[in-house]
Chains A and B, each alone.
Chain A
Amino acid sequence: MLNLDPDEQVVLEVRKHWIVFVSQAFFLCLAAIAPLVLVEMVLSLIPFKVLVGGSAAAMATFLYSLWILILWITFFFDWTSYYLDVWHITQKRIIDVEQRGIFNRDVSSIRFDKIQDITVEVRGIVATFLNFGTIEVQTASETSGNFIMRHASNPEAIRKMVFSQHNQQSERTQPVHIVHTHGTEPNQRQ
């Protein structure tokens, strides 16, 4: 759960590029078809006979269903780690949720006035064509350090968005109360 201020809203969510997740899912697809290819080979290698006390086809269907279910839940564990590893950019700050695996989660945030610079690095032909790269937010904060997201989708747009929010934040007019102490009326300017 995010603890946002009452007047704060998420304007952008930044995640890693979908290719990161798809490359993980690709190996699960290979694992799904592996038993269909390898079962004969494995059965010929094991040094004992398997005596099935029933329909062999039914047993194969049963075991294959369980195998697919194992891969299915692995897929969703991967997806959950991918989906919950996110930067929430609000009007006031960046909230960095680092989800490493399913049980390891860190949340930190940095206000725009603490941001010193943002660097974007797009390396390689695949990253250039698919438009993903590393984005690093350098902060003046001693506690939170720099924010880094690797394989972030559309990093240049993120940089522009953060600068835009940063500028809006700094240009937002603040009410100034001028107090006159020598008999004149107090004045309020915006």
Chain B
Amino acid sequence: MMQNQFLIPHFNSIHVSSTFLWFIFVLFLVVYGLLSLVLRYHWKQYGMNTRAINLVQIVFFSVSALFLLVAGIALSIF
């Protein structure tokens, strides 16, 4: 029986380059920025400016910045 080798892509290894990871990082930043805007809109529009909302905004953005920094540093080392 003949096997059709063209139906399934076949590879033994993938190569992860620095350019590829930077591309993922930039794409991630764009998506993350959009989602953050959605959250911020809801907090601003419907949150009634309560203490909880203000606190949540600080925590969200500061921890996000921390992890983005870690990701950026890791990528620079890579």
Interfacial residues, chain A to chain B (CB-CB below 8 A):
1-2, 48-55, 58-59, 61-62, 65-66, 68-69, 72-73, 76-77, 79-80, 83-84, 97, 99, 102, 105
Contacts and interface: CB of A to CB of B under 8 A. Distances in A.
Contacts of B11: 48
A79 B68 CA distance: 21
A87 to B, nearest CB: 14
B39 A84 contact: no
Contact of B13 (A48, A83, A99): A48
B71 A84 contact: no
B63 A66 contact: no
Q: Is the interface of B mostly helix, strand, loop or mixed?
A: helix
A49 B77 contact: no
Interface residues of B, number: 37
Given A62-B75, A62-B78, 15 more contacts: A49-B14, A50-B13, A58-B74, A58-B75, A61-B71, A65-B71, A66-B24, A73-B36, A73-B39, A76-B39, A76-B56, A80-B43, A83-B52, A83-B56, A102-B42
A17 B3 CA distance: 59
Contact of A72 (B13, B25, B43, B64): B64
A52 B28 CA distance: 20
Nearest to B60: A76
A53 B18 contact: yes
Contacts of A68: 67
A58 B78 contact: yes
B39 A59 contact: no
Contacts of A61: 70-71, 74
A103 to B, nearest CB: 8
Contact of A59 (B36, B64, B78): B78
B16 A72 contact: no
A108 to B, nearest CB: 15
A76 B16 CA distance: 31
B51 interface: no
B13 A49 contact: yes
B45 A79 contact: no
A62 B13 contact: no
Interface string B1-23: 00000000001111111100100
Interface string B42-63: 1101111000110010001001
8 contacts: A1-B46, A55-B78, A62-B25, A66-B28, A68-B67, A73-B39, A77-B35, A79-B56
